[in-house]
Every structure is written in C-alpha cells, then in structure tokens.
C-alpha cells in the first residue's frame, strides 16, 4: 500500500509501472556494475512505457534512480577507474549539459516534448548510426586480425564529451556515446566499467541543476523512484555476478552486441518519429 501511494497520480496503470519500471531500473543497475553503459539505452523506452508514454515524467523519475545506481557502481568499483580519462571528458560534457539545458528550456516554452521532437529524432538517429558504425569497424578489425588499441585525440574527447552531456541531459542516452569512446581503448573490464561509472557519477549529479530548474524532479518523481530502488539493487547484484563470470573476450563481445542492439533501437525509434 505504501508503494502504491508513492506512484504519481498521472500514471493510470500502477501494475504496469511497478513491473516494467522495476525491470527498467534493473537494467540500469546492471549497466552500472556489470556490462558498461550500452545496455542502459534499452531501459529508456521501458521507463517511458511504464509511465504510460509520459516522457517528461519518465525522464524525471529516472535521474534520481541513475544517481543512486552511480553511487552503487562507484562503491562497487572503488578506485578501479581511470581518473584522467573520466576528467578529460568533463569540460566538454559541461558544455553539452548546458546546451541540453537550453534545449529543454526551449522545448518547455514551445510546449514540445523533447522525446518526440524532430531535432531529438535526428540526434538519436545520428548516434545510432555512429554506434552501428563502431560495431562494424570492430568486426572488420577482428576479421583482418587487427587488435590495435584506439588512442583518442583531443578532438575525439571534446566531441564525445559534448555529445554525452547533450544526449544525457535530453534523454539519459549517453551510454552508447561513452561506450564508443572507451571500449576501443581496450581497457580492462574493471577499468572500463569503473571509468564509465565514475564519469556518470559526476555528470548525472550536475544534471540535477537543469532538472530541478525545469521542475522535472519533484516529490512525485522522487516517490516513484523510491518505489523502483529495489530494481536498481537487484540489477547491480546481477551485473556484478555476471561480470565476475565472463571472460575478457566474452565481455567485449557482449558489450559490442549490446551496443549494436542499442544503436539499432535508436535508429528504429528515430525513423519512426521522423516518419510520423
């Protein structure tokens, strides 16, 4: 009864919210502690569906959940991250978050849902195609027997940071962007997951500023997020369990597969929005 009382009144199907929303939170928990961040893109449409297609409500509920998951991940992978790599992305990410904040403000004034706008659809399509391109490049390298680690230049870091900050602010969709940047560098499993978690631990807390300003986080969204917290814990435990039982080669294969699924899903969703 307590859990039901915390669900926002704007959600008509509480059973759907509890089941699908918990699964979405579980996916987020797994992505933070076991298999990088590519899989997290799959949780976004799940949460919107759980909220009966109320995108703004779903995004508002998700941020506090993500921050809790970030703390779980940071504690789990304590000091196994590459601080230099994570911090190098931060300046451009701050600019991306600022641009995303400006876009949210514009959408709010124009009464446009940023999840269904043409601009966001094109952005999502571009990220999806880039993700699929990285997967294709990885496959080509494997076929040719090339195994050289990617060493990012400053321009790569700036572009990645901008894209991550902007897409994360609009739709919590920066997982594939960071995965595309970190995974080709061939870091260890622990370093990859920990560095990803450390970056989002910083970025998601900064995003609180525009979200609070837009009133996208309030007592209703916080209450709903509290209901879904067990899903985060369950996902974190499962993610860590699987991480410890998957070899390095299998891990890379799984993450690239999830990146391909995420990229394909983003392309599909963007195409549907543009065709509507």
Give the model confidence (pLDDT) of 42-96 as tens digits: 677 788 778 876 777 888 888 998 898 889 889 888 999 999 999 999 999 999 9
> Residue 62's domain spans which residues?
2-275
Torsion on CA atoms 50, 51, 52, 55, rounded to nearest 10: -120
Amino acid 85: pLDDT: 95
Residue-level pLDDT at 156: 92
- The residue whose two tokens read 């991480």 is 243
Whole-number Cα distances in Å, 165 to 137, 139, 147, 180: 24, 28, 30, 15
Q: Does the pLDDT of residue 186 top 90, yes or no?
A: no
Band the pLDDT of 1: cuts 50, 70, 90. low
Distance, in Å, from the CA atom of 201 to the CA atom of 36, rounded to the nearest integer, reads 13
Least confident of 7-16, 87-96, 191-200: 7-16
Res. 188: pLDDT tops 70: yes
- pLDDT-based confidence at residue 141 (cuts at 50, 70, 90): confident
CA-based nearest residue to 36, from 182, 232, 207, 206: 182
Q: Determine what percent of the chain is predicted with pLDDT higher than 70.
A: 86
Q: Please give the pLDDT value at position 195.
A: 93
Please state, rounded to an integer, the average pLDDT across all residues of the chain: 82
- Better pLDDT: 234 or 39: 234
| C-alpha angle 34-183-186 in degrees, rounded to nearest 5 | 105
Position 12 scores a pLDDT of 72
For the chain, how many structural domains are there in total?
Answer: 1
Assess whether pLDDT exceeds 70 at residue 223.
yes
Please give the pLDDT value at position 221. 87
Percent of the chain whose predicted confidence (pLDDT) is above 90: 22
Phi-psi region of 112 (alpha: psi -120 to 50; beta: other; left: phi over 0): beta
Give CA–CA dist 14/53, Å, rounded.
13
Per-residue pLDDT tens for 232-271? Answer: 888 888 887 877 777 767 767 777 787 788 778 878 888 8
> Does pLDDT of 155 surpass 70?
yes
Q: Which of 36-45, 70-79, 188-197, 205-214 is modeled with the greatest confidence?
A: 205-214
| For the chain, counts of helices (H) and of strands (E) | 12, 0
> What local confidence, expressed as pLDDT, does residue 13 receive?
81
């Amino acid at each position: 009864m307590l859990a039901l009382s915390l669900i926002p009144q704007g959600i008509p199907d509480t059973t759907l919210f509890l089941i699908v929303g918990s699964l979405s939170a579980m996916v987020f928990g797994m992505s933070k502690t076991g298999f990088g961040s590519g899989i997290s893109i799959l949780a976004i449409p799940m949460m919107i569906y759980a909220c009966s297609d109320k995108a703004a409500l779903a995004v508002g509920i998700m941020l506090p959940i993500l921050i809790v998951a970030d703390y779980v991940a940071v504690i789990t992978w304590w000091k196994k991250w590459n601080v230099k790599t994570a911090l190098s992305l931060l300046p451009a990410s701050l600019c991306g978050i600022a641009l995303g904040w400006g876009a949210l403000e514009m959408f709010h004034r124009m009464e446009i849902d940023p999840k269904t706008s043409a601009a966001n659809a094109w952005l999502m399509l571009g990220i999806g195609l880039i993700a699929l391109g990285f997967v294709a490049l990885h496959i080509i390298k494997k076929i040719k027997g090339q195994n050289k680690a990617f060493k990012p230049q400053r321009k790569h870091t700036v572009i990645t940071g901008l894209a991550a900050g902007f897409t994360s602010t609009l739709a919590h969709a920066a997982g594939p962007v960071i995965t595309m940047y970190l995974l080709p560098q061939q870091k260890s499993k622990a370093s990859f997951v920990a560095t990803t978690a450390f970056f989002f631990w910083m970025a998601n807390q900064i995003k609180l500023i525009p979200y609070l300003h837009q009133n996208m986080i309030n007592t209703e969204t916080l209450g709903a997020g509290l209901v879904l917290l067990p899903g985060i814990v369950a996902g974190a435990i499962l993610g860590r369990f699987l991480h410890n039982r998957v070899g390095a080669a299998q891990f890379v294969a799984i993450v690239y597969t999830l990146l391909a699924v995420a990229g394909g899903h983003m392309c599909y969703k963007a195409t549907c929005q543009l065709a509507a």
